[in-house]
A and B are shown apart, each in its own frame.
Chain A
């Protein structure tokens, strides 16, 4: 009986040993899995960005672009994120929304900037979206929603413009899985703290009812597509407790005010 247990154990060990030995090789690199995925993501990013570029108006005002760019640069710098990977675009639209596209495209609607009471709220939302990008949530969501085969066929030009448009809609107006949202929230708080930005306004932003100027609730896309605002605000506050204090604004008050004035014009 003892002999058989030893033999059985050896057989099991042999299997796990083989597996362990094989894990020492970077198979992803050997089979160029990453390269294929990266290429697909790159193409998809371009494809979706083209759609938004065509249908919405991009804000090219130098002051607006520079202000948003400096926010992103500051966040990237304090969190050791490669700045090149985040491609931020500001679109003129009243909707209070921001979302990430594949390959690091981050779209912010002017409505979001105008409806942020302070820069911390805006920075919080941007951090949340950067977290989605950095945690590779965008591709995960796409694969889940429409499947890998459709995604690859899109990049080879067989997708059909309707499917691409529909998918773009999914990306801009629906939230991720609850767990992914939480992950992005927590990561966003980390980013904020590293960048010395107070995370509290970000939590408050989730509570916020619509602004006096744009009081139609349908404009509040970013909040309404992200469910359980209360719960989210709570765990953000909870998580950011006892974190570093001594916050510093990224943009000067004048720059922030000027940004809003420029957008209002």
Chain B
């Protein structure tokens, strides 16, 4: 699922720190974002926008962090609104709902662990590419040189 790859150049100390922060952004936001799934996305989006003009390594990791948050947004929003409709509307708790929440928790947890791991690795200047998201980032994020 997660691959360590050789980046096109050796990132400097400062670059590694910023790239690592892009993942930490989503982690910090998790605390606030648990009940509101959009907060994580906004946090990583702001960080992404702030670093748009940064070096390739930083941009690359900001994009990967953003993309992973984007897909979690779909999963979490659906679960969020489902929960709201159970509390405030006539929906009732069904096995289907509980199964969805458990699936969402599993995916969130996987993403959470992967994020921590990647944050640590990128801090050391090691380039980490995720399954699917890494490939997608390679398409979106191109080196300027």
Interface residues of A (CB under 8 A from B): 1, 3-4, 7-8, 10-11, 15, 18-19, 22-23, 25-29, 31, 33, 37, 136, 140, 143-144, 148, 177
Indicate if the CB atoms of A28 and B93 lie closer than 8 Å. yes
Indicate if the CB atoms of B136 and A144 lie closer than 8 Å. no
- Give, as a whole number of angstroms, the nearest-CB distance from B80 to chain A: 16
Indicate if the CB atoms of A18 and B98 lie closer than 8 Å. no
Indicate if the CB atoms of B98 and A27 lie closer than 8 Å. yes
- Give, as a whole number of angstroms, the nearest-CB distance from B130 to chain A: 10
Indicate if the CB atoms of A28 and B89 lie closer than 8 Å. no
Knowing A11-B71, A19-B99, the reply to whether A148 touches B89 (Cβ < 8 A) is no
Q: How far is the CA of A27 from the CA of B100 in the complex (A)?
A: 11
Knowing A15-B107, A18-B106, the reply to whether A143 touches B136 (Cβ < 8 A) is no
Tell me whether B75 is interfacial, beta carbon within 8 Å: yes
Give every chain B residue within 8 A of A22 (Cβ-Cβ): 98-100, 102-103
| 18 CB-based A-B contacts, threshold 8 Å | A1-B139, A3-B135, A4-B135, A4-B136, A7-B135, A8-B132, A11-B71, A11-B132, A18-B103, A18-B107, A22-B98, A22-B99, A22-B102, A22-B103, A23-B99, A33-B98, A144-B90, A177-B90
Tell me whether B87 is interfacial, beta carbon within 8 Å: yes
Number of interface residues of B (CB under 8 A): 22
Indicate if the CB atoms of B93 and A33 lie closer than 8 Å. yes
B131's contact among A7, A27, A29, A148, by CB below 8 Å, is which? A7
- Give, as a whole number of angstroms, the nearest-CB distance from A140 to chain B: 4
- Give, as a whole number of angstroms, the nearest-CB distance from B95 to chain A: 4
Q: How far is the CA of A240 from the CA of B23 in the complex (A)?
A: 62
Give every chain A residue within 8 A of B3 (Cβ-Cβ): none
- Give, as a whole number of angstroms, the nearest-CB distance from B57 to chain A: 21
- Give, as a whole number of angstroms, the nearest-CB distance from A221 to chain B: 24
Grouping DSSP codes into helix (H, G, I), strand (E, B) and loop, the A interface class, with mixed when no group exceeds half, is: helix
How does the 8 Å CB contact mask read for B79-122 relative to A, with 1 for contact and 0 for none?
00000000101101111101110110011000000000000000
Give every chain B residue within 8 A of A10 (Cβ-Cβ): 132
Give every chain A residue within 8 A of B131 (Cβ-Cβ): 7, 11
Given contacts A10-B132, A27-B95, A33-B98, 4 further A-B contacts (CB under 8 A): A11-B132, A23-B96, A140-B90, A177-B90
Q: How far is the CA of A148 from the CA of B71 in the complex (A)?
A: 32
Knowing A18-B106, A22-B102, the reply to whether A28 touches B132 (Cβ < 8 A) is no
Indicate if the CB atoms of A25 and B99 lie closer than 8 Å. yes
Q: How far is the CA of A19 from the CA of B87 in the complex (A)?
A: 22
Indicate if the CB atoms of A27 and B99 lie closer than 8 Å. yes
Q: Which 4 residue pairs of A and B lie closest in terms of their CB atoms, listed nearest first? A: A22-B99, A27-B98, A7-B132, A23-B99
Within 8 A of A (CB), among B3-56: none
Closest to B93 in A: A33
Knowing A27-B95, A27-B99, the reply to whether A143 touches B90 (Cβ < 8 A) is yes
Q: How far is the CA of A177 from the CA of B90 in the complex (A)?
A: 11
Closest to A18 in B: B103
Q: How far is the CA of A140 from the CA of B90 in the complex (A)?
A: 5
Give every chain A residue within 8 A of B106 (Cβ-Cβ): 18
Indicate if the CB atoms of B139 and A4 lie closer than 8 Å. yes
Most buried by A among B75, B89, B95: B95
Q: How far is the CA of A33 from the CA of B101 in the complex (A)?
A: 15
- Give, as a whole number of angstroms, the nearest-CB distance from A25 to chain B: 7
Give every chain A residue within 8 A of B92 (Cβ-Cβ): 37, 136, 140
- Give, as a whole number of angstroms, the nearest-CB distance from B99 to chain A: 4
Q: How far is the CA of A3 from the CA of B139 in the complex (A)?
A: 12
Indicate if the CB atoms of B93 and A4 lie closer than 8 Å. no
Q: How far is the CA of A264 from the CA of B127 in the complex (A)?
A: 89
